[in-house]
Amino acid sequence: MKAESSNESFEIGQRVHSLNDPRRVGTVKYVGDVEGYSGTWIGVDWDQDGDGKHNGTVNGVFYFNGRSQSSASFVRSQNLSRGITLLQALELRYRTTSTKDEEDEMYVLSAGNRRVSIQLLGGDKIQDKLSRFEELTSASLSYLGVSSLGVSSDLGSILPNLKLLDLTGNLISDWEEIGALCEQLPALTTLNLSCNSLSSVITSLPQLKNIRVLVLNNSGLSWTQVEILRRSLPGLEELHLMGNMIPALTSTSSSDGQAFNSLRLLNLDDNCISDWSEVLKLSQLPCLEQLYLNKNKLTHIFHSVNGIESPKKSSDPFPSLRCLLLGANSIGDLASIDALNVFPQLVDIRLSENPISDPVRGGVPRFVLVARLTKVQVLNGSEVRAREKKDSEIRYVRMVMSKLNDKSEEIELLHPRFYELKKLHGIEDERASAENSGPKNMASGLLSIALKCVGPSMGEKPELTKKLPGSITVGKLKILCENFFKLKSIKPRLFLQEEGSPFPTALDDETATLLDVGICDGSTLLVDEES
């Protein structure tokens, strides 16, 4: 099904796609003559960089502003489509039978490299069921060039049971038409309008009480527009806003009768939020359980604004938040980690690809994060089991003791959970007692450490378990490993393998003691070689 392609069909600002490629979508920016060429041309600024040939200027003549140096091109009208209607797209997706050429393309290669045709068992039954629109509960019409929703009074009778509609990557922009569509589909609860260039003007939207999930990724929306939308979405439970370049949020208060009081999941991945005070504007949403903030520009987390903390328990930030994803930001301080303990229900946290979680960039190993986060049950997508939690807390306490023994004021300032954890696990001042103890007590303070050779030039060597004092340095342990494994002319490099962490932690500070770097009884060290 092809749309009309006359010159009159195209206007400045209209959304179009390449006639033979519905995924190549753009906006008309110019209609008219091009110097040196005959006839009328349509200047299109494509959504994807590289789909065009220039930036709207050709042979030194300016025609329009393209988004980039390779996003614009001039196209003849017959090579563009202004799109099809929603019902046409349904016909195309679910009622068009495969051609013989398409069926011939369904094959596998035999052992003799010959084509063997494939017949889809039950394919006719599946196709027959999908073609009965009145039975459809979900429809995926992504990248089919839908430009008009063709809303009519009989749409509800055509699609009475449709619950999920995916319109990703089409040519839709009119909010009034979107609202009318939702009204006409009584069962619709999930709507995906990602990768549509939606109008910045939102007017005449009815109350869409049935919509529970709305996906608006890469649609160019600002938070101001989101605030307008929420007035029409009283029952919304999930809102996805990835890739919209949102830098700031206007206030969203639960005292507002039209706030997102039912919202359970808010996805703000891949935006431009840099100030945590913007995030705190969401902190009183009563039902918010999952907040995704991966790939933003956050540097610091705190739980109060202008230094004024919540005076009473009822105003604790994020009262229902259980999952907070903060991957690939720029968080680099431990005070930000400690601030997360204020959120009363928070158990699932992602901090990967932040400086604080990368020891190479001055961050801390996983066990420190596990110990400082009071309620964490999942960290960076990996479950924190009771054994890991306990071991991490003990290692953390011993590490702090080895560095700041008898410096109580500094400990309270830099390590808020230290005394709580020390009491919880019954840990004595090992370093102080070791200085005045005899051989028996010294022996009881040895750490049992597993050593595994993993260097490619080391050959196959059996794993060793050694009992070592926690006071020896990393540099001394490297020398011992040379002797243990008879490593002639190979300079070892040590890594601490931690439960739940995908990568081992390099131990490069040769002056640090084993306790300093968090090694405890039962730890595993990988013995690699310097590159």
- Burial of residue 204, with CB atoms counted within 10 A of its CB: 0-12 exposed, 13-18 middle, 19 or more buried: exposed
High-pLDDT (> 90) share of the chain, %:
63
Q: Which tokens is 108 given? A: 């596998």
Contact 485, 522 (CB under 8 A): no
> What pLDDT shows up at residue 317?
86
High-pLDDT (> 70) share of the chain, %:
85
Measured in Å, how far apart are the chain's first and last C-alpha atoms? Answer: 61
Q: Which tokens is 454 given? A: 């993993």
- Strand extents, DSSP E, 217-274: 238-240, 265-267
Contact 138, 163 (CB under 8 A): yes
Instruction: Choose among 373, 307, 365, 382: nearest CA to 346.
Output: 373
Most confident of 108-112, 177-181, 409-413, 511-515: 177-181
Distance, in Å, from the CA atom of 306 to the CA atom of 206, rounded to the nearest integer, reads 39
Contact 154, 134 (CB under 8 A): no
Distance, in Å, from the CA atom of 1 to the CA atom of 145, rounded to the nearest integer, reads 10
Contact 67, 87 (CB under 8 A): no
Claim: this prediction has a pTM higher than 0.85: no
* Interstrand relation of 15-18 and 446-453 (parallel, antiparallel or unpaired): unpaired
The larger pLDDT score, comparing residue 239 to residue 103, is at: 239
Most confident of 204-218, 418-432, 505-519: 204-218
The larger pLDDT score, comparing residue 122 to residue 387, is at: 387
- At residue 427, φ and ψ (nearest 5 deg) are -90, 130
Q: What would the DSSP string read from start to end of 412-470?
A: HHH-TTHHHHHHHTT---HHHHHHT--HHHHHHTEEEEEEEE--TTS-----EEEEEET
Place 312 in a pLDDT band, splitting at 50, 70 and 90: very low
| Longest CA span, the chain | 99
Lowest mean pLDDT among 36-45, 353-362, 376-385: 353-362
Q: Is the pLDDT of residue 407 over 60?
A: yes
> What pLDDT shows up at residue 12?
93
Most confident of 151-155, 286-290, 410-414: 286-290
Q: Which tokens is 520 given? A: 């405890």
Q: Which tokens is 522 given? A: 């039962």
What average pLDDT does this structure show over 428-456? 67
Distance, in Å, from the CA atom of 373 to the CA atom of 452, rounded to the nearest integer, reads 30
Q: Is the pLDDT of residue 442 over 50?
A: no
Q: Is the pLDDT of residue 108 over 70?
A: no
What average pLDDT does this structure show over 48-77? 94
- 498 by DSSP, 3-state: which? coil
The dihedral of CA 185, 191, 193, 199: what is its sign? positive
Most confident of 2-11, 14-23, 244-253, 293-302: 293-302
> What pLDDT shows up at residue 115?
65
- Strand extents, DSSP E, 124-281: 138-140, 146-148, 164-166, 190-192, 213-215, 238-240, 265-267
Instruction: Choose among 271, 186, 182, 185: nearest CA to 226.
Output: 271
Q: Which residue has the tokens 């933003």?
A: 296
Q: Which one-letter amino acid corresponds to residue 38?
A: S
Chain mean pLDDT for the chain: 86
Q: Which residue has the tokens 């605030």?
A: 227
Q: Which one-letter amino acid corresponds to residue 378?
A: V
Distance, in Å, from the CA atom of 325 to the CA atom of 440, rounded to the nearest integer, reads 48
Lowest mean pLDDT among 106-115, 224-233, 437-446: 437-446
What average pLDDT does this structure show over 331-335? 96
What average pLDDT does this structure show over 113-128? 55
- 402 by DSSP, 3-state: which? helix
Summarize pLDDT for 249-300 with one digit per residue, the tens. 986 554 455 579 999 999 999 999 999 999 999 998 999 999 999 999 999 9
CB under 8 Å to 396, separation ≥6 — which residues? 367, 368, 371, 372, 421, 518
Q: Is the pLDDT of residue 469 over 70?
A: yes
Residues forming beta bridges with residue 80, ordered by sequence position: 18
- Burial of residue 142, with CB atoms counted within 10 A of its CB: 0-12 exposed, 13-18 middle, 19 or more buried: middle
Contact 529, 490 (CB under 8 A): yes
- DSSP H or E run through 528: strand 524-529
Distance, in Å, from the CA atom of 404 to the CA atom of 398, rounded to the nearest integer, reads 10
Buried b (16+ CB within 10 A) or exposed e, 488-524: eebebbbbbebbbbeebbbbeeeebbbbbbbbbeebb
